[in-house]
Structure formats: C-alpha cells, structure tokens
Amino acid sequence: MKNTLFTEKTRWLAAARLPGRAFLLWALAFTGAGAAALNGRYYVGYFNDDASFVLLARALWRGLLSLSPAGLGGAFSHYLPGYPLFLAPFAAAADPAWHLLRWTTAGLALLSVYGFWLLLEGWLAEEERRWAVGLYAVHPLFLYCSGMVMADPFLACLFTWGLLGLRRVLEGGRAPAFALLLGASAWAAAVKPIGALLPLAVTAALAAAREKRALRLFSLLFWLPCLALLIYGALHRQGPTDYVTYLLQGLASLGEQPPLARAYGLLHALVLVCGLGWFWPRGPLWDPAGAALIAGALYLLVKGLAALLAREGRGRYIALAAGALLLGQGLVLSLWTAFSERYALPLLPLGLLFLAVGAAAAWKARPLAARALLAALAASFALHSASLALAGPEARLCAQTLDWIRRETPADSRFTGNAPLLFLYTGRRGDGLFAARDADQFLFSLSNHGITHVLLTGQAVLSAGGSLRNDHALQKRLEQGWISGHPRHFKRLYANPAERTAVYAVLAAPGRAEAVKHYSQALRELSASGPAAAERSLRLALAADRDFPSALAALASVLLTGGGSQAEAEKLLGRALALEPNFPRASGALAQLLEGQGRTAEAGKVREAAQAARALAPFEVPPR
C-alpha cells in the first residue's frame, strides 16, 4: 500500500518529473541563492545578541587554546554555550571581519535542507517529500534568517538532524545513528533552553516505540549527566540560566490579557506572519478572514500529523516526536515575554511537513486542488523572498560612529547603549538599558555603573510590552529623551545624521551622590515613620544638590501633607517644573495647591503649561 494520497495520473508538475537528486540540487541551489541575496540584510551586532554570541565564541576559543577557561562559567549565565561553541573556530578565523560569520548561517541553511531531504526519504511519498522540502527551501523566514549570526538557525538545523538520527535508530541503525541522535540532542539542549524539547521528544518516541535498549542508553548518556549537572548546580548554589526568569515572567503575565486574545495573537504571529509569510495585519479576535485562515492552516497541520501517525511502520514515531516538538515550542512561545519571527524558525520545517501531508489528506479525492494550494504557497513564498532581497538591508552598521568612538574616546570609557556591539567593534565596555522609572533614577544608575559616555541610535529594539522591565522600546524612548533633553547632564560630542547616531559625554553632577543617599533615606523614613521624619533627610538632599527634581517634589509633598508652609511648597514645585516641565505629578500638585487657595487662573496656566510640555520627554514613566 502506498503511503501517499497523491495519484500517479495527476503528476503534472515539471518538478515532479525531475529525478530525486536533481530536485535536491535545485532546492539547494535556490536556498544558496536566496541566502546569498539576503546575506547582508542584518549586520553582525544588529540584534545585540549576535554580538554577544561572537564575543562569547571569541572568549571560548581563547580559553580553549590557553587551557584557561576560568571565568567562562559566569559568561554563560544568560546565553548557553552551545552556539558559541559552534561559532568559536569561525570567529577566530574571521576576526575582525565579523560580516564573514553570516556565511556560517548560510551553510547551516544548506545543511538543514539536506537533512530535511534525508529525513523524509522513504518515510513520505516522493511527491509529499518534494513539496515539504521545496516549500522550506523557498520560505522567506528560512531564507532571511540565513544571514543572521543567531542561535535559532543552528537550533533548527539540530532539530532536523536529531529527528534524522531518531529515524536511523528506529530503523535499526547502530553506533553512527545513535551518535547522531545523542549529539544533536545534547547540543540542542546546550544552545537554548527550548532546545531541551528535542531530547524530551526523542525520549517519548523511543518509549512509545518500545526501543528499550536505545532508551536505556539514551538515559544513561544524556539524562544521567543532566541530573548530575543539576545536582552540582544546586549544591554550589548556581542558579539556572535567566531564561527561566523570563519564562516565569511570562507565566505571571498570563492574567494581563484575556486568554482568547493572547491565543489569537500567538497564532496570528506563528501561522499567518511566520508560517504563511504574509503581511497580514493584526486584527481583533473577531477578524473573520484572519481567523478563517488560521483555522484552515491548523486543520491541515492536524490532518497531516494524524495521517502520519496512522501510517504503518516506524515512521509514526518520528511523527510523534515531530508533533511533540511543534506543540512544545508553541507552548513555550505562548509564555515568552517577547516575540521575534526568528523564534519560529525551528518550528518551520515541521509545520511545512504536516502542511504538505495534510493538504494531500484533505483533498485525497481531488489531488489537483491540493497541488494548486501548495503551488500557490510556494509561489507566494518565492515572491516574498525575492521582495525581501530587492528591499536591501534592514539597517547598516554605524561604521563611522564606531570608528570615531574607537579613535576619540579613552580606552577605559564606559558606555550605555548597544553594549555588546560597542565592545565587539570598539573594545569599549558598557551596559544596556536600566529600566529607570524617572530621569533622576536614570542619572543615579549611570553614576553607579561608572558610565562616562552614551551612544544613541535610531535602531528599533525587540520589546515585549507589559511591565517596564520587559518594555525595552519604552525604556529606550525614555532614556533617549532624558539624554537629549538634559544638556546640564549630557554634552553632545558627536552626531552623524546619516547613521542616525549621536555620542554624549555624561557630565558629573556635584553633590548628586550625597543627595541620592539622603533621598533614599527619606523614602525609607516615609514608609517607616511618616512625613515628619523624612523632611530632614530631604532638606539634606537638596542642600547637596538643589537641582534634584524628585527631592523637590517629595519635600513639597511632605510639607503639604504635614501642614507645612504652602508658600515653600509652591516654590519647590515651581523649581521642579522649571527643571522638568513634563512632570505631571509636580504640575498636578501645584495646580491643586493654587486652586485650593482660590487662584484658579494661575492653576489654569499651570495645567496649560503641563499640557504643552507633553511634547517633551517625560520626567518619569507615564502611567499605564
């Protein structure tokens, strides 16, 4: 019995008449051409994560060569070592021509297509196999990710080859097959935490297939060392990667959005934008066209998975593992605090596999309809990929600005803004965003971290929204406003309009450190003892730095609530607004004070000034 629902009589596509080897070569050629055309879409450092990966790869290579890996453990508290380990020899060879590293990802793209082709050989019917591989080879998400120096393309490649290793083991393969399975599983788990889904899916498939010997060996060589590492980390009080923190934040934010709206948002991103590669606008939950397209795609995916699970032979256990991988990644992404299209890349070949089989199963009596649908998808993927290639780079490296920083700033300068990129290209160290709630807290954070310079860029950042700590776009917008709008604290040293960059020096604020110490003490006293106890500390803070808006507003509040001088409170609030015109709490308090004194005209002017000042950078995080 044939394991296909396409019939021989309707095999009319020219691609179907190509010999298998020729079709594979065409698929690889299209992948290579697409990867080359889109290779320059993102410079190395565009995501900041990519610069971090290169820096870690360089440190790892140097540690291996010197046999002195001291300190590397702390470097991998966020990023896991799997991808930097792969990148290390290439980074050593490319240094400092980092753009060459994009070709390593292009090579991974070719390897992924070849592995996908081998995985489906003999498991799917030849035409189903060609549709799945062909759709993957021309997919815009797959091709534009082939120019990123990021972990996601590497993880997608490992998933494909890990499933191939599973298939070889299920078919009776010996040491080489098991080595492929074990190596891909272990490496995937070391690339990103979500990579642990591969060994979990493999374990489930081996158990379902009753491959007791392979399951015992896999448990001994993979799960037992993992358990030992967990025990070692617990005994030495080493916490897991902070990806776990992000996952917990996602769990905590589940109540911030209705479940149906959250599910629709995720499916819109995964199915319409990433899976089908369409510029489909995000509509409301009741968007009938979008919901219908999502439902249709999910129907074909489920139909394809069900068809593969129902087939005889060991292939159904590969389908079980692939389905578990697809579902597991979707569940994890539903809890993530931010989303980027590249996160969906490891799901892509599995989704296209089920889509191709599902189309054949859904129209088994009308194979021409299935072919027409798949051909339309392939054409739309190819056109989308071509349009991305013609559009040119997403952004260009600010090479002139980085060269100026390298030449004109001291070697021990410390920057904020794009810290990994700065260190990679200039050797200047720094920090990222500080999630400060107001300009005063931001200035204190700069001082506390020893920041001497600031780099401002016009580049967008990946943002999750929700809380301030997750909303990087809001953080960046606030910080850029505080920097450009406070010449008494920041001096512009360099600007490059063509690159949309500017470099500022952080000016020392005499007495600010002492003022912050007294202000912090006042906040503690406010919560513990009340306004009267805090007044003295606030006056000491203003004696150290009279231009301290937070302390000015706080002392005015203490005076007004404690029955102090209203005239002094009015002066304090006026001083705070002179320093920070867009300070809604201060303007609101001053207007309320004036209205209470019957000075309604003056209160109206304060409110008008506050409304006009909304065009300026806000002093503090706006209320949500």
At 256, the pLDDT band (50, 70, 90 cuts) reads low
Are residues 475 and 594 part of one domain? no
At 139, the pLDDT band (50, 70, 90 cuts) reads very high
**pLDDT of 242:** 64
Angle between helices 49-66 and 82-94 in degrees, nearest 10: 80
Residue 595, domain member (yes or no): yes
Domain boundary (367, 390, 413) is at: 390
More confidently predicted of 286 and 208 = 208
The stretch 499-519 carries a mean pLDDT of: 89
The HSE-up count of residue 369 (CA atoms within 13 Å, CB side) is: 9
**Which residue is it, tokens 């019957």?**
598
Are residues 199 and 176 part of one domain? yes
Residue 543 corresponds to which tokens in the numbers above? 């004696």
Quick check: 363 and 303 in contact, CB under 8 A? no
Q: How far is CA 317 from CA 112, 129, 217, 322, 361, in A?
A: 21, 17, 18, 9, 19
pLDDT at 508 over 50: yes
pLDDT at 2 over 50: no
The stretch 267-280 carries a mean pLDDT of: 84
Give the domain extent around 550.
522-615
Q: How far apart are CA 395 and CA 39, in angstroms?
A: 12
pLDDT at 76 over 60: no
pLDDT at 238 over 60: yes
581-592 confidence digits (pLDDT tens): 999 999 999 999
pLDDT at 15 over 60: no
Quick check: 509 and 545 in contact, CB under 8 A? yes
Are residues 434 and 455 part of one domain? yes
Are residues 468 and 437 part of one domain? yes
Least confident of 23-27, 80-84, 463-467: 463-467
At 447, the pLDDT band (50, 70, 90 cuts) reads confident
More confidently predicted of 456 and 1 = 456
Q: Total structural domains in the chain?
A: 3
Q: How far is CA 370 from CA 116, 359, 373, 380, in A?
A: 21, 5, 5, 16
583 backbone φψ class: left, alpha, beta (φ>0; ψ -120 to 50): beta
Domain boundary (358, 390, 422) is at: 390
pLDDT at 11 over 70: no
Q: What is the DSSP string of 102-119?
A: HHHHHHHHHHHHHHHHHH
pLDDT at 458 over 90: no
The stretch 262-289 carries a mean pLDDT of: 81
pLDDT at 255 over 70: no
At 464, the pLDDT band (50, 70, 90 cuts) reads low
Q: What is the DSSP string of 522-540?
A: HHHHHHHT-HHHHHHHHHH
Domain boundary (479, 506, 533) is at: 506
Least confident of 253-267, 292-306, 608-622: 253-267
383-430 confidence digits (pLDDT tens): 999 999 999 888 889 999 999 999 999 999 999 878 899 999 999 998
Residue 94, domain member (yes or no): no
**pLDDT of 589:** 92
Are residues 128 and 250 part of one domain? yes
**pLDDT of 84:** 96
Residue 367, domain member (yes or no): yes
Q: How far apart are CA 578 and CA 591, in angstroms?
A: 15
Please, what is the Cα angle at 185 between 170 and 217, to 5 degrees?
55
Our separate counts of H helices and E strands in the chain read 29, 5
Q: How far apart are CA 577 and CA 323, in angstroms?
A: 59
Q: Is 527 exposed, middle or buried (0-12, 13-18, 19+ CB in 10 A)?
A: exposed
The stretch 110-115 carries a mean pLDDT of: 98
pLDDT over 70 percentage in the chain: 88
The stretch 291-313 carries a mean pLDDT of: 93
Other Cβ atoms less than 10 A from the Cβ of 487: the count is 11
Least confident of 140-149, 198-207, 246-255: 246-255
pLDDT at 74 over 90: no
pLDDT at 112 over 60: yes
Residue 97, domain member (yes or no): no
Are residues 452 and 433 part of one domain? yes
Residue 563 corresponds to which tokens in the numbers above? 């029955």
**pLDDT of 471:** 61
Burial 567-577 (b: 16+ CB within 10 A, else e): eebbebbebbb
Least confident of 107-116, 265-274, 454-463: 454-463
* Identity at 311, one-letter amino acid code: R
**pLDDT of 229:** 85
Least confident of 198-202, 341-345, 483-487, 541-545: 483-487
Are residues 541 and 406 part of one domain? no
Are residues 567 and 547 part of one domain? yes
Are residues 280 and 219 part of one domain? yes
Are residues 312 and 167 part of one domain? yes
Residue 253, domain member (yes or no): yes
Residue 425, domain member (yes or no): yes
CATH number for the domain that contains residue 601? 1.25.40.10
Q: How far apart are CA 547 and CA 19, in angstroms?
A: 78
Quick check: 552 and 520 in contact, CB under 8 A? no
* Sheet strands (E) in 285-421: 414-416
Average pLDDT of every residue of the chain: 87
pLDDT at 217 over 80: yes
Q: Peptide bond before 96: cis, by omega within 30 degrees of 0?
A: yes
**pLDDT of 479:** 84
Residue 294, domain member (yes or no): yes
Rg of the chain over all Cα atoms, to the nearest angstrom: 29
The stretch 141-147 carries a mean pLDDT of: 94
Residue 513, domain member (yes or no): no
Are residues 375 and 409 part of one domain? no
**pLDDT of 417:** 78
Burial 371-388 (b: 16+ CB within 10 A, else e): bebbeebbeebbebbeeb
Phi, psi torsion values for 461, nearest 5 degrees: -125, 150
Are residues 431 and 453 part of one domain? yes
Q: How far apart are CA 585 and CA 475, in angstroms?
A: 20
